[in-house]
């Protein structure tokens, strides 16, 4: 099992909590706690720690500092001065090298930071976030600027690189939206100033110049989308979703704050749902809601063969059942009414002229009419009265028959039958 009573410090030495000497320090190095109430814009951050003396300012000393103000001074000029022992530059480990802290507002009010003195600089070891929510989330990948990016901008990108959001700009929706806190020249890359999530960002400068909104309202990037390519609308951003289908896709950016830090400062969300208006409501992009006879959408399946629904779709099993029912009915109808016999199809047409109804038979075999190929004796016509009695009619040379309506009256019907000769 690993010995958890020891920690390794950046200078390579170990801090042993069980060692009596270590409990009071490592050699001449000690652990301290202090507070800093220096104004945000002041570069030299003065730390009050009554136990700290000039003899404690040696390599290996660690101090935890609680800050009362969010820094706004230039990161390249920041220093830490503990109990007036001398201002030493504040640095940060980035890609295993000493560098400036990631952003101006990295040091925030109400948060504690642990610093390690390496003999030259106060180096940030750890940030203790005392807020209930994280203030930012790094992208942790190099981002290339395909055009020059100004500091404090929302940027979008594709395979060729990133650029600031603006009307007409296109980007790949599979690439994340990112907040860039520093200026990046065209065709160069940056790593430590790219954030997937960040709060207190000015939407009026970083997204759309001069834009105004209302406290606590969600902000949306206005786009049109084709495939994976989004094109930003000329209006760029809005806090209002549509009430009709305008053909646009609204990408959630984040929520405006309560204006305590200034007008139009907002929290950029780490994820960005896409919405549009379809079928009478706001829906996730790609969803149409329930289908209707006039609109695309989600359809409930139905296995019934007797349903009259106009909002449900028949399953293949329902279609097959309906087909079987129709096929059975068709077979019965043709056998008893239209003379289906083997592979023969029998039907007839009729017309009425001058009180005479003329019936003409039609026999089909393999898709062709073959009526005249068969003898007159193959065709039998009968008149059936409403009482059920039958009268055999005369078959004409065209295999049909004529019925003088006045001879029989109304209410009866004519039945024709075709019987092919036995082979």
292 assigned to some structural domain = no
Q: Which residues make Cβ contacts (< 8 Å) with residue 296, sequence separation at least 6?
A: 288
Query: How many beta carbons lie within 10 A of that of residue 10, not counting itself?
Result: 14
Instruction: Tell me, yes or no, whether 172 and 48 share the same domain.
Output: no
401 assigned to some structural domain = yes
**What are the pLDDT digits (tens) for 179-234?**
999 999 999 999 888 998 887 889 999 999 999 888 889 999 999 999 999 999 99
Instruction: Tell me, yes or no, whether 161 and 276 share the same domain.
Output: yes
Distance CA(362)–CA(418), nearest Å, equals: 9
The pLDDT score that the predictor gives to residue 121 is 96
**What are the pLDDT digits (tens) for 408-418?**
655 678 888 88
The pLDDT score that the predictor gives to residue 354 is 84
- Give the structural domain span for 225: 136-284
Instruction: Tell me, yes or no, whether 18 and 92 share the same domain.
Output: yes
Query: How many beta carbons lie within 10 A of that of residue 320, not counting itself?
Result: 12
Instruction: Tell me, yes or no, whether 256 and 372 share the same domain.
Output: no
The pLDDT score that the predictor gives to residue 18 is 42
The pLDDT score that the predictor gives to residue 266 is 87
The pLDDT score that the predictor gives to residue 328 is 54
Alpha carbon distances (Å) from 219 to 228, 264, 303, 419: 22, 10, 44, 81
The pLDDT score that the predictor gives to residue 333 is 38
291 assigned to some structural domain = no
Instruction: Tell me, yes or no, whether 147 and 269 share the same domain.
Output: yes
For residues 237 and 181, is the Cβ–Cβ distance under 8 A? no
245 assigned to some structural domain = yes
Number of domains observed in the structure of the chain: 4
Instruction: Tell me, yes or no, whether 195 and 261 share the same domain.
Output: yes
Query: How many beta carbons lie within 10 A of that of residue 87, not counting itself?
Result: 16
Instruction: Tell me, yes or no, whether 157 and 201 share the same domain.
Output: yes
Torsion angle of alpha carbons 129, 132, 136, 139, nearest 10°? 90
Single pTM value for the model: 0.47
338 assigned to some structural domain = no
193 assigned to some structural domain = yes
The pLDDT score that the predictor gives to residue 19 is 44
Instruction: Tell me, yes or no, whether 224 and 124 share the same domain.
Output: no
Which tokens is 402 given?
């004529």
The pLDDT score that the predictor gives to residue 356 is 86
**Which residues of the chain are modeled with pLDDT < 70?**
1-30, 126-135, 258-263, 289, 291, 293-295, 297, 318, 322-343, 408-411, 423
290 assigned to some structural domain = no
220 assigned to some structural domain = yes
Out of 128, 161, 180, a domain closes at 128
């Amino acid at each position: 099992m690993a010995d958890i009573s020891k920690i390794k410090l950046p200078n390579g030495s170990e801090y042993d909590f069980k060692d009596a000497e270590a409990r009071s320090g490592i050699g001449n190095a000690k652990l301290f706690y202090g507070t800093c109430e220096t104004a945000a814009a002041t570069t030299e951050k003065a730390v009050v720690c009554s136990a700290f003396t000039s003899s404690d300012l040696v390599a290996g000393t660690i101090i935890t500092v609680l800050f009362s103000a969010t820094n706004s001074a230039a990161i390249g000029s920041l220093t830490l001065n503990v109990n007036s022992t001398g201002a030493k530059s504040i640095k940060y480990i980035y890609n295993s090298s000493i560098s400036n802290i990631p952003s101006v507002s990295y040091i925030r009010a109400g948060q504690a930071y642990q610093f390690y003195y390496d003999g030259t600089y106060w180096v940030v070891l750890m940030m203790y976030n005392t807020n209930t929510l994280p203030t930012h989330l790094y992208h942790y990948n190099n981002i290339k600027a395909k055009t020059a990016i100004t500091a404090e901008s929302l940027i979008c990108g594709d395979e060729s690189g990133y650029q600031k959001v603006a009307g007409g700009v296109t980007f790949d929706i599979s690439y994340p939206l990112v907040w860039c806190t520093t200026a990046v020249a065209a065709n160069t890359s940056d790593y430590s100033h790219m954030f997937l999530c960040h709060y207190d960002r000015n939407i009026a400068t970083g997204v759309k110049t001069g834009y105004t909104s209302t406290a606590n309202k969600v902000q949306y990037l206005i786009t049109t989308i084709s495939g994976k390519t989004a094109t930003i609308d000329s209006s760029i951003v809005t806090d209002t979703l549509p009430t009709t289908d305008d053909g646009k896709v609204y990408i959630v950016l984040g929520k405006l704050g309560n204006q305590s830090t200034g007008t139009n400062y907002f929290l950029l969300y780490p994820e960005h749902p896409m919405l549009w208006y379809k079928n009478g409501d706001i829906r996730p992009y790609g969803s149409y809601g329930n289908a209707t006879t006039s609109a695309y959408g989600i359809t409930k399946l139905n296995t019934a063969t007797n349903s009259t629904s106009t909002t449900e779709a028949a399953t293949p099993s329902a279609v097959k059942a309906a087909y079987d029912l129709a096929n059975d009915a068709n077979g019965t109808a043709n056998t008893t009414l239209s003379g289906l016999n083997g592979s023969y199809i029998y039907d007839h047409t009729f017309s009425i002229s001058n009180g005479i109804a003329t019936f003409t038979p039609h026999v089909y075999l393999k898709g062709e009419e073959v009526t005249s190929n068969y003898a007159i004796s193959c065709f039998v016509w009968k008149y059936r009265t409403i009482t059920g009695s039958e009268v055999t009619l005369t078959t004409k040379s065209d295999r049909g028959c004529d019925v003088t309506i006045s001879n029989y009256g109304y209410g009866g019907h004519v039945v024709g039958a075709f019987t092919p000769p036995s082979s």
